[in-house]
Amino acid sequence: NAGVTQTPKFRVLKTGQSMTLLCAQDMNHEYMYWYRQDPGMGLRLIHYSVGEGTTAKGEVPDGYNVSRLKKQNFLLGLESAAPSQTSVYFCASSSSQGNNQPQHFGDGTRLSIL
């Protein structure tokens, strides 16, 4: 069972470069999320989606864009990378059936901005 798959696993960028992180889930989940995890802090929500074609802002959306063109995929874009965006990025998905559904996480993308 693949679950939630994130690509790439590691990436180093220079300031000002752009890139897209890909998240794919095979559980037919309606909801998908992008988080960032920084040392000494809890995971923080960047953007999320409650269904194909929908997106919404989370706690820390500035500098990021997202798209959910297909139900199974959720893309996170950095248009002009900044050193402050150096972090570990996690994607997650969950079922829409009720509020007590666990989120299933990928294993993260480690991104360094030089």
Footprint of another protein on this chain (CB under 8 A)? Answer: 4, 31, 40-45, 48, 50, 56, 58-59, 90, 92, 94, 96, 99-108
Ramachandran bin of 108, using left for φ above 0, alpha for ψ from -120 to 50, beta for the remaining angles? left
Cα–Cα distance for residue pair 96/100, rounded to 1 Å: 9
Cα–Cα distance for residue pair 10/98, rounded to 1 Å: 34
By beta-carbon proximity to another protein, the closer residue of 13 and 47 is: 47
Q: How far is the CB of 44 from another protein (least distance, A)?
A: 8
By beta-carbon proximity to another protein, the closer residue of 14 and 28 is: 28
By beta-carbon proximity to another protein, the closer residue of 23 and 75 is: 23
Given a contact cutoff of 8 angstroms between Cβ atoms, the answer to whether 98 and 34 are in contact is no
Q: How far is the CB of 112 from another protein (least distance, A)?
A: 15
